[in-house]
């Protein structure tokens, strides 16, 4: 019975050690989440307004302005930007994003994929590893930009996508990321990055009235890439905050599970200990009876 006691004791120590790690990881993620949440909260209204402005400009430019990034053409080649994380232990965060990207390919671009015309631009190590292992055409220049995340690093990835679209190397660019809601909730979304979408006007809606200074051509050529850079940066910040929220929630659940397991193990340990004591007492009593006999 001593062997069983030792085994249970070792398991209890192992679970306690793991629980210390999960609690520490939860605290680290909580601290990082506060900073990431502040960053996306401040960024979101600015990015939303810029996106609205861009869509309105595109919608109200009735073919009088050359806008290479808003050109609609038959979709033969597709690029999908997938924002995941560099590290795991964050529940289903990465697997859900990868699953969504693959579902989009299956539902919308199966014909293009069959011809080898779907490329993946992963941002984050987990996405890069998965799509590389599963045989996708992966653009491997930007997967590591989350380490020391800056606007300039994201801008380089956005420029790659914009250049590919403008040069007709791809005909559409989709963006897959996790939109941060709160620590416990993320919304996995896919949205069109390129071509720039027009705003659908409702009946009786007036055109947005913009005064362009300098000229419309010059301003749009300068403004459109900057707004798209901001859009991708916002998606990356959303993903960064979502990752920390998902990890904090996952580590909290892991700590709770460790508590439940410890309760069960301690009950098993006490039962084994009581059985060992009973056995020893029985042996002592039997030995005493034998001596008396």
Catalytic residue positions, numbered: 90
Q: How far is CA 42 from the centre of its chain?
A: 19
Could you give the CA distance from residue 261 to residue 290 in angstroms, rounded to a whole number? 43
Could you tell me if 189 and 201 are in contact, meaning their C-beta atoms sit under 8 angstroms apart? no
- The beta strands (E) that lie in the chain are given as 78-83, 118-123, 137-138, 172-182, 185-194
Beta-strand pair 172-182/185-194: antiparallel
Could you tell me if 173 and 193 are in contact, meaning their C-beta atoms sit under 8 angstroms apart? yes
Beta-bridged to residue 189, according to DSSP, are 177
Could you give the CA distance from residue 276 to residue 214 in angstroms, rounded to a whole number? 89
Say which residues have a Cβ less than 8 Å from residue 50's Cβ, sequence separation at least 6. Answer: 227, 230, 231
* Residue showing tokens 């930009």: 145
Q: What is the CA radius of gyration of the chain?
A: 29
Element (H, E) at 139: none
């Amino acid at each position: 019975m001593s062997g069983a006691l030792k085994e249970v004791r070792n398991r209890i120590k192992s679970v306690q050690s793991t629980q210390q790690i999960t609690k520490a990881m939860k605290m680290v993620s909580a601290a990082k989440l506060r900073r990431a949440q502040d960053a996306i909260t401040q960024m979101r209204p600015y990015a939303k307004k810029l996106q609205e402005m861009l869509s309105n400009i595109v919608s109200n430019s009735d073919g009088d302005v050359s806008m290479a990034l808003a050109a609609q053409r038959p979709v033969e080649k597709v690029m999908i930007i997938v924002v995941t994380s560099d590290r795991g232990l964050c529940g289903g965060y990465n697997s859900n994003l990868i699953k969504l990207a693959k579902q989009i390919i299956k539902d919308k671009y199966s014909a293009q994929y069959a011809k080898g015309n779907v490329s993946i631009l992963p941002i984050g190590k987990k996405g890069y590893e998965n799509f590389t292992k599963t045989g996708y055409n992966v653009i491997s220049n930007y997967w590591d930009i989350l380490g020391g995340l800056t606007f300039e690093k994201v801008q380089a990835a956005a420029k790659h996508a914009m250049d590919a679209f403008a040069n007709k190397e791809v005909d559409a660019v989709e963006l897959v990321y996790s939109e941060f809601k709160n620590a416990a909730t993320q919304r996995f979304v896919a949205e069109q990055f390129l071509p720039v979408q027009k705003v659908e006007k409702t009946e009786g809606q007036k055109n947005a009235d913009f005064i362009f200074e300098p000229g419309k051509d010059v301003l749009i050529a300068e403004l459109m890439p900057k707004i798209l850079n901001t859009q991708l940066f916002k998606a990356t910040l959303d993903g960064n905050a979502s990752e920390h929220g998902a990890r904090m929630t996952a580590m909290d659940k892991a700590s709770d599970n460790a508590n439940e397991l410890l309760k069960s193990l301690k009950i098993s340990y006490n039962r084994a200990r009581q059985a060992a004591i009973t056995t020893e007492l029985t042996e002592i009593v039997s030995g005493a009876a034998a001596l008396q006999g």
